[in-house]
Each structure stands twice: as structure tokens, then as C-alpha cells.
Amino acid sequence: MHVVEFLIEPFTEGQPGAHVTSAIAAVEAAGGVVDFGALSSTCRADASEMPVIVAALLTAAFANGASGVRLSVEHEGAGA
């Protein structure tokens, strides 16, 4: 299992724009389940699904006005 943590900019607390909501919808359409957080969001998926999820996230975010996307992908349990 892999975990992607992401922050889509511009960030406006309590008011996620289309660049955020469309990216979350794209991740969910690709089979991911998003845990929407206050500063960043996460999604857990099998390693084979993660490239599709990340591509969907980036494509939707930038197509809907994102100025940047910060993300980190890690193997769940790495370092434990």
C-alpha cells in the first residue's frame, strides 16, 4: 500500500476552489479514497494504482486553475 499526501495551491482555508474539488473527484474516479485534511489531504492505494491516481490528481488540478501541487508518495509503513 502506498500513501500520497498532497496540497493543491492556491490554498484558501475553508474555501477549496475547483482546482481542489476537481482533483479530489478525479482521484476518487480513479479508485482512490481521499481523506480531506485542513492543510493537506491523503489517499491510500495499491502501488499499481498510484501512478494513475497521481496523474489524475495533477491533470485535474492544473486544468482547473492550480498554481502548484505539492505531493509526497510513500510506502505505508516505510521507516517503521
Domain membership of residue 42 (yes or no) is yes
Question: How many domains does the chain fold into?
Answer: 1
50 domain-assigned: yes
Q: What is the pLDDT of residue 67?
A: 97
Domain housing 10: 2-75
Half-sphere exposure of 51 (CA within 13 A, CB side): 1
Buried b (16+ CB within 10 A) or exposed e, 33-62: ebeeeeeebebbbeeebbeebbebbbebbb
Is residue 80 assigned to a domain?
no
Residue 63 within a domain: yes
CATH number of the domain that residue 38 is part of: 3.30.70.930
The single residue listed with the C-alpha cell 491516481 is 53
- Of 45 and 78, more confident: 45
* Alpha helices by DSSP H, the chain: 18-29, 50-63
Does the residue 18 lie in any domain?
yes
State yes or no: pLDDT of 1 exceeds 70: yes
- The mean predicted confidence, pLDDT, of the chain is 91
- pLDDT, tens only, 26-57: 999 999 999 988 889 999 999 999 999 999 99
Is residue 79 pLDDT above 70, yes or no?
A: no
